[in-house]
Amino acid sequence: MSRGDLVITTLLGSCVAACLFDAERGVAGMNHFMLSNRRYAHDMPYSITEAGRYGIHSMELLINALMRHGARREQIRAKVFGGASILTSRDEVGNFSCVGSVNCDFIRNFLKNEGVPLLAEDLGGGLGRVIYFDTRDHSVYVRKIRKRRSEVIARRDQGHWQETVRTHDEETGSVDLWLPE
């Protein structure tokens, strides 16, 4: 979130980042969410899930932050990135092969339903991305990540979620979680 000139960057696999801005007011921000909504982790308390990880919450948080910094809702515009399907082996993916495409569908539908114009997108595909969002002119630079490196990142993220589930499961019981990547 910025009212000044800076470059915000993030690394994406099946996750999605939305770059939102109000050019007239000079306010811009970016989020990064792993899953479209909390439905896939409904038994996990917010202290564990961190609501900003879920698109449904992350988008509202970002829009509200922009408005608190002077943006007018009707002037907010969007550019969105990510949602790749990186892991292709059934052994690697299990039942979670569609996380990227669900995230892509979610962000497009959310923006349409909220009346936020989508000016640019680079969603889906099989490669991870590093994006650089320049808040000065609202340009976004995308660097695709080689397939091998994308797979390493996906496995790291998948390991993080599995550890979160394991820790939570030991404390409170079973968890229904849709793993990213």
pTM: 0.74
Residue type, 43: D
pLDDT exceeds cutoff 60 at 95: no
- The CATH code of domain 7-172 reads 3.30.1330.200
Region of poorest pLDDT, from 52-61, 140-149, 165-174: 165-174
**Per-domain boundaries in the chain:** 7-172
pLDDT digits (tens, 9 = 90+) for 116-163: 999 999 999 988 899 999 999 999 999 998 776 656 666 666 555 555
pLDDT exceeds cutoff 80 at 172: no
